[in-house]
Amino acid sequence: MGRQINYYMEADVFKTLLQKAIDLEFQILQNNYTTTEAVTRLDDVLFTDNNNRYYLYLPEAGSLIYKETGWLDDMQSPVIEANYSTVQNNVVSRARLWTPTGYWNNEDIFIYRSEKLNKKYSSLVRFAKKLAPYTEIPVTLRNGSTFMSKCYITKSLLESVESGQYACEA
């Protein structure tokens, strides 16, 4: 379980969201690399369609935790998963900000997410909603059918969807 906001947001607008995260004292972890090295400047973030998933790490909320496999444990670490939309075959992918509510420790006690992380997550969500306002758009299912859905989408992607240039995936 966790908190999540879904949106359609291209990389250029997502960069603005990442800068807000940096301003809120987050560090950017690209993908879920097995290193504790984090990016603290937007200029150091790689933006490619093959690497559009990031973790926003809040050091003041705790240390990064890694699984035995070496992968980042995003349930126990004070991170927010963030990504941006990509376009493949004229279909825009849905992206999100997500953070877990907490996790179960080895003694079967539920440990809630840090209140510091919770407040900064809420701030990022409010900012994302400004970048990608809530509106109704046609969404395409994998079987090709479409339906009207309310969602958060940036102005430029909305114009592309309304003009028929792109479709949004469900």
What values do phi and psi take at 9, rounded to 5? -145, 125
Total domain count for the chain? 1
Residue 153 placed within a domain: no
Count how many residues are written for the chain.
170
Q: Is the C-alpha dihedral spanning 38, 71, 62, 20 positive or negative?
A: positive
What pLDDT digit, counting tens, does each position of 107-160 carry?
Answer: 999 999 999 999 999 999 999 999 999 999 988 788 888 889 999 999 999 999
| Percent share of the chain, pLDDT over 70 | 94
Residue 94 placed within a domain: yes
pLDDT score for 45: 86
Residue 168 placed within a domain: no
Task: Check whether 12 has a pLDDT greater than 90.
Answer: yes
- Split at pLDDT 50, 70, 90, the class of 35 is low
Give the type of residue at 33.
Y
pLDDT score for 103: 92
What pLDDT digit, counting tens, does each position of 72-97 carry?
Answer: 899 999 999 999 999 999 999 999 99
Residue 137 placed within a domain: no
Residue 19 placed within a domain: yes
* CATH number of the domain to which 111 belongs: 3.30.530
Section 94-108 average pLDDT: 94
Task: Give the domain range for residue 99.
Answer: 2-131
- Split at pLDDT 50, 70, 90, the class of 49 is low
Section 40-56 average pLDDT: 83
For residue 120, the SS3 value is: helix
Residue 59 placed within a domain: yes
Residue 147 placed within a domain: no
Residue 167 placed within a domain: no
